[in-house]
Structure 1
């Protein structure tokens, strides 16, 4: 399944979350997708995006780590397979990154709601750490988008130079 469809599925699932456990599972799913997309880009993406992509993979991994559902005593659903395991293609990279950025923003908002509503100090601090990880992943997505834009500008200015060079 391509990244844009996986992101849409994640956004829908997060919007449908009705319990703290469901919200945490969907936050974990989003971070797993960030990790997978970052790792995928780090290996197969354009060379100028690979450093930031590695950072996205690492940030997503950190986000998964702070959302240990069993340690939080939530509906652990230990058999939960990351939705990202279905990733078969990134598809439209810009759209995938924009969608991932939006999903991570929604995850942050959902986790703020959980943190504000809980009396469990452990859950509160896990949410705070997960919010920080989602923010870091979002920063990495924006950095990749900036590099992608710079790359596209560079190739379009090179093409414009090439077309004017033959005009003389």
Structure 2
């Protein structure tokens, strides 16, 4: 599945009326997606050691990023990820200020740290030109093992 579609799934959750646990889950989902996009866009770089692993502890099921197969519009995907991570960050800050339970507070703080790290990774990818090529995916143009990158029109519409 293309990265833009996976970002759109998170955007739908965040645009609805997410419960506090949904916001925390989306933080981990987004961080996992950033890790997966990084592997596709910058396979030669040292892998980013994000902290998306705690997603399993939330009971959220398998990470959405496991369905990632391609990044058809790298520039648009990185832009959409920046916006999504900003929305999640704002929601987490509000949530952190409102929670009464200490466990929920620390869960929000951990999710905020993870979102911050993911935002930095997206900035690094964009600054490093990882989003300048065309579509990328395993075995596809511009993906790992491909001879080069092909240009293309944006198909994600985000």
Which TM-score bucket, shorter chain as reference? 0.7 to 0.9
Partner of 1:161: none
Match of 1:92 in 2: 73
Q: CA deviation at 1:144?
A: 1.2
Q: Is there any run of 5+ residues in structure 2 with no aligned partner, and where? A: 134-158
- Distance (Å, rounded) in 2 between the aligned partners of 1:28 and 1:144: 19
Q: Once superposed, what is the RMSD of the aligned Cα atoms? A: 2.4
1:91-130 correspondence runs (5 A): 91-130=72-111
Residue 68 of structure 1, aligned match among 37, 40, 57: 57
State the distance in 1 between where 2:33 and 2:17 align: 18
**TM-score, normalised with respect to structure 2:** 0.72
1:18 maps to 18
Distance 1:33 1:102 in 2: 14
Give the structure 1 partner of residue 29 of structure 2: 29
Aligned residue-pair number: 133
Alpha-carbon separation, structure 2, partners of 1:68 and 1:42: 28
Distance 1:40 1:140 in 2: 13
- Structure whose residues are more often helix by fraction: 1
Structure 1 unaligned residues grouped into runs of 5+: 70-75, 153-168
- Separation in structure 1 between the aligned mates of residue 110 and residue 64 of structure 2, nearest angstrom: 22
Deviation at 1:137, TM superposition (A): 1.1
Post-superposition Cα deviations, 1:63-114, rounded to whole Å, max 9, x if no partner, equal: 4438832xxxxxx34xx22221221101111111111111111111111122
Give the number of the structure whose alpha-carbon radius of gyration is greater.
Answer: 1
Q: From the superposition, tell whether residues 67 and 132 of structure 1 become closer, same or farther in structure 2 (CA, over 3 Å).
A: farther
Structure 1 residues 108, 122: closer, same or farther in 2, change over 3 A? same
For residues 124 and 7 of structure 2, the distance between their equivalents in structure 1, rounded to whole angstroms, comes to 19
Q: How high is the TM-score relative to the length of structure 1?
A: 0.69
Q: Which residue of 2 aligns with 1:39?
A: 39
Aligned to 1:83: 64
Distance across 1 between alignment mates of 2:68 and 2:53: 17
